[in-house]
Amino acid sequence: MKASVLAAIAALALTTVSGIALAQERGGVIDVATIGEPPTLDPMASTADLVGIITQHVFETLYTFDESWNVTPLLAEDLPTISDDGRTYEIRLREGVAFHDGSTMSAEDAVASLERWMRIATRGRQAAEVIESVEAQDERTIVVRLNAPYAPLTALLAFNNAAAIVIPAANAAQEPLSDIVGTGPYRLEARVPDQYIQLVRFEDYAARDGEPNGYGGARRQFLDEIRFVPVPDPNTRIEGAVAGQFAYVDALPVEAYPRIASGATEPVILAPFGWPVFVMNTKEGLASDLRVRKAVQAALAPEDMMLAAFGSEDFFEIDAAWYPSSHVWHTQEGTEPYRPEGDTEAARALLAEAGYDGTPLRILTSRQYEFHYKMAEVAQAYLQAAGFTVEMDVVEWATLTQRRADPALWDIYITHSPFLPEPSLMGIMSDTSPGWWASPAKAAALEAFNTQSDRDARIALFADVQRVIYEEAPAYKVGNFNALAAKAPNLEGVVPAPWPYFWNAYLR
């Protein structure tokens, strides 16, 4: 190769590296369009993904997930030291981590935060069933003692949904949380309801060393501000993305892909993303009768529902398994009741057996996730064909997340979830999560699954958990789908993720 060509390549490489270095200098403000107004900024108090997406920039947990969905330390110094019997977890905290109010994180803060989490968060109450005590051993060490081995504990502590955030001990008694003070790379500057939530760089943020690694590793603050703007109408989000009105637009209908690809922003696809799910109210009302739930399970036609919701098979897959074939948790155990085209006659027979009297089946949904509403419309037609009287309650997403907490208001609500790294993170696994599924069969399957520490043995045991889900029908998984978002061409450092984050993002 000629020396002149080598010199040109070297110059180009130097220019590229220099350009990246310059591009990553601090500065800039981005607007992020979200599906609506979050019901709260207290991540312990909500399982709504929207709450987690915003608040993960402000609050942090002891652990998080790396790019391979392994648990990795965040506020903790390292992974916990676990006793031989699996019942004692010793967690060492990082030194010199500052809160937004200027105080320094200590073991006292972590203990008070975990006690609050176990008191008010659905996933915290789930963990509280096995946690005997949380104590400070010294200024930087906490000890968690369990009444039985519990393999999902670190994953629960890592999850940003009903999250085990660490806050100052002085704020832990607040219910609801009024002082939005965390350790995250950005702090709350202003919240103007229905207009924006403004986060600004926290100058004293204690970043981890090393390189970014999924939600873990180094969290760098290149941006001056992040403004989360509620845009409930999906068509308005599409138009905003096409026009380049926002730096990032979340939760776009997948049928908008051609328009996004030819507009001022770039499509961001996460494939596969997760599953849509119809959660049934097992506590009271129509769906508290197993025969009615089995009738719903038989009546629904996932093929037509997914086609209506996503338009093209490029964006969805008909799959009964709660995890796709690419995940270690994949199994077909118990999936026989899943019928791609539905079974109206079987549903009618089950309704007759239940002595159904025409009481309306109430479906709670929202149009902010347009695919939820489209699936609900198709479901309504199939359920009516099976003999149900169906009422649709279509509300704002923030209202839905409030109403689903009241078992008197609904029989089915529609939501979705990414494929979670630990099955015990699924909402229906908690007896206190809306839907309130609790049974001896569930308890037995989960006890065997959660007390087993060997990963291969747990993979086999999850098949029993999935079988019980299909037998007792607390929820109906519709299929697998891909997610679509959009970003500005000059917004760099954004990694496709189920809960998009903007630390490490910068404007080129």
Torsion (CA) 238, 240, 246, 248 in degrees, nearest 10: 0
pLDDT value at position 12?
Answer: 35
Please give the single-letter amino acid code of residue 163: A
Q: How far is CA 380 from CA 305, 365, 384, 385, in A?
A: 10, 12, 6, 9
Confidence of residue 29 (pLDDT cuts 50, 70, 90): very high
Per-residue pLDDT tens for 34-93? 999 999 999 999 999 999 999 999 999 999 999 989 999 999 999 999 999 999 999 999
For domain 29-222+491-507, the CATH class is: alpha beta
Which region among 217-221, 270-274, 277-281, 285-289 has the lowest average model confidence (pLDDT)?
270-274
Residue with more model confidence, 23 or 318 = 318
Confidence of residue 294 (pLDDT cuts 50, 70, 90): very high
What is the number of alpha carbons within 13 Å of residue 500 lying toward its C-beta?
Answer: 26
301-315 pLDDT, tens digit each = 999 999 999 988 889
What value does the mean pLDDT of the chain take?
94
Cβ neighbours of residue 243 closer than 8 Å, sequence gap 6 or more: 263, 264
pTM over 0.75: yes
278 band by pLDDT with thresholds 50, 70 and 90: very high
Instruction: Give the pLDDT of residue 348.
Output: 98
pLDDT tens readout for residues 211-264:
999 999 999 999 999 999 999 999 999 999 999 999 999 999 998 999 999 999
| Bridge partners, residue 392, by sequence | 363
Nearest to 337 by CA among 468, 186, 451, 198: 468
Q: Torsion over CA of 82, 83, 88 and 93, rounded to 10 degrees?
A: -40
Q: Predicted confidence band at 17 (pLDDT cuts at 50, 70, 90)? A: very low
The single-letter code of the amino acid at 206 is A
At the topology level of CATH, where does 273-483 sit? Dipeptide-binding Protein; domain 3 (3.10.105)
The whole-number pLDDT of residue 60 equals 98
Q: What is the pLDDT of residue 158?
A: 97
Q: Count CB neighbours of 255 within 10 A.
A: 17
CA dist., res. 277 & res. 280, Å (int): 9
Listed in order, the ranges of the chain carrying CATH 3.40.190.10 are: 29-222+491-507
Radius of gyration of the chain (CA): 24
Residue 455 has a pLDDT of: 87
- Tally of CA atoms within 13 A in the half-sphere of 222 that contains its CB: 20
Amino acid at 438: A
Kindly compute the dihedral angle of the four CA atoms of residues 255, 261, 262, 266, in this order, to the nearest 10 degrees.
130
The letter for the amino acid at 294 is K
Q: What is the pLDDT of residues 168-192, one digit of tens each?
A: 999 999 999 999 999 999 999 999 9
Residue 211 has phi, psi (to 5 degrees) of -105, 160
pLDDT of residue 4: 36
Q: Is residue 249 a contact partner of residue 265, using CB atoms and an 8 Å limit?
A: yes
3-state SS, residue 469: helix
Cβ-contact 418, 274 below 8 angstroms = yes
Other beta carbons less than 10 A from residue 501's beta carbon? 20
Higher per-residue confidence, 25 vs 321 = 321
- Find out whether 375 and 253 touch, Cβ atoms under 8 Å: no
- Whether 20 shows a pLDDT value over 50: the answer reads no
The CATH 3.10.105.10 portion of the chain extends over 273-483
What was the pLDDT predicted at 258? 95
CA 414 distance to own-chain centroid? 15
